Amino acid sequence: MMKHTVSWFELPASDMERAVQFYNTIFGIELKREDFGGVPHGIFERSEEEAVTGAVVFDPENKPSMTGTRLYLNAEGELDAVLGRVQGAGGKVLLPNTAIAVGRIGIIQDTEGNCVGLFSTQ
């Protein structure tokens, strides 16, 4: 049995510095910079050993997109604060804090053109 359905995610970036700064700003964190096989990564570090994580990635074979799979990043207990920093960081809020059956969501467009969801149970 799988512990998590998702084990790793990658958000494509056209401009790595801009993308890393965007996520650093909206979440108040510092993505860890790594290079894997010549591909720059800005990694969302996990706080728990079994937590799902991923990275912003500058890879010419993977382009930012508003369509396709939508990833929801954890904004637990801080959804309004995170949404409130999106525009100032260069992104767009596409769906404000909205109640759903299992919590609350918001949807943003990041500086790279990715459509990204935010989720909180509160």
At 47-105, the pLDDT tens digits run: 776 678 999 999 989 999 999 899 999 999 999 999 999 999 999 999 999 999 999 99
CA distance 7 to 50: 9
What CATH class does 8-120 carry?
Answer: alpha beta
Q: Which residues does residue 12 pair with via DSSP β-bridges, in sequence order?
A: 57
Letter string b/e over residues 3-32, b meaning 16 or more CB atoms within 10 A of that residue's CB: eeeeeebebbbeebeebbbbbebbbeeebe
pLDDT in tens, 42-56: 999 887 766 789 999
Return all residues near 101 (Cβ < 8 A) that are at least 6 apart. none
Phi and psi torsions of 95, nearest 5°: -140, 120
